[in-house]
Amino acid sequence: MAESEFQGPGLFRGLLCAQGLATLVVAALSAWPGGREVALAALAGGGIATVASGWAGFQLWLHPGNREPNRAATAAIRAEIGRVVIILLLLWLTLKHWPEVRQGAPAMMLFAGFFVVQLAGWIWLARATSTTHIDSNRNG
């Protein structure tokens, strides 16, 4: 793969595709033994992770004002703080307005879905950026 393929928008699309696919897989796998409520909880957890990563990815790679090198550090801080706030807000709203998810298997799958999707995003980013870094070292 070319080095420019994983810059900015490519990283953003790849991250969201990896997390979206992981969300669907976790929800489908949890539906069989747990039923509809458990699958929806897993879907909600994965959706929370994906939405938060979408915000951070937009701030880091797509926002036009953050592409300047002198704004990279503040953009990364804003992206991470915003991501944490979005996660906490969406988890709070989910638990407040969806009482079935507060205990038992749905609660477990809400958080399991979140963590599995978050892990899938981290793994995808680690693989995408390490490949780019290794390729640039070979060429340089």
> Residue type at 1?
M
Q: pLDDT class for 138, splitting at 50, 70, 90? A: low
Integer-rounded Cα radius of gyration of the chain: 17
Percent of the chain with pLDDT strictly greater than 70: 87
Per-residue pLDDT tens for 5-17? Answer: 446 788 889 999 9
pLDDT at 57 over 80: yes
Q: Which residue has the higher pLDDT, 84 or 133?
A: 84
The first and second tokens of residue 93, run together, are 């709203």
Position 101 scores a pLDDT of: 94
> Do residues 27 and 61 lie in contact, with contact meaning Cβ atoms separated by under 8 Å?
no
List Cβ<8 Å contacts ≥24 apart for 103-109. 105/34, 105/37, 105/38, 105/41, 106/34, 106/37, 106/38, 106/40, 106/41, 107/41, 109/26, 109/30, 109/34, 109/38, 109/39, 109/41, 109/42, 109/45
Instruction: Enter the pTM of the model.
Output: 0.82
Percent of the chain with pLDDT strictly greater than 90: 60
> What is the DSSP-derived secondary structure letter of residue 68?
S
> Cα(102)–Cα(80) distance, rounded to whole angstroms?
27
The first and second tokens of residue 103, run together, are 């205990």
Per-residue pLDDT tens for 65-83? Answer: 777 777 778 888 888 999 9
Q: pLDDT class for 3, splitting at 50, 70, 90? A: very low
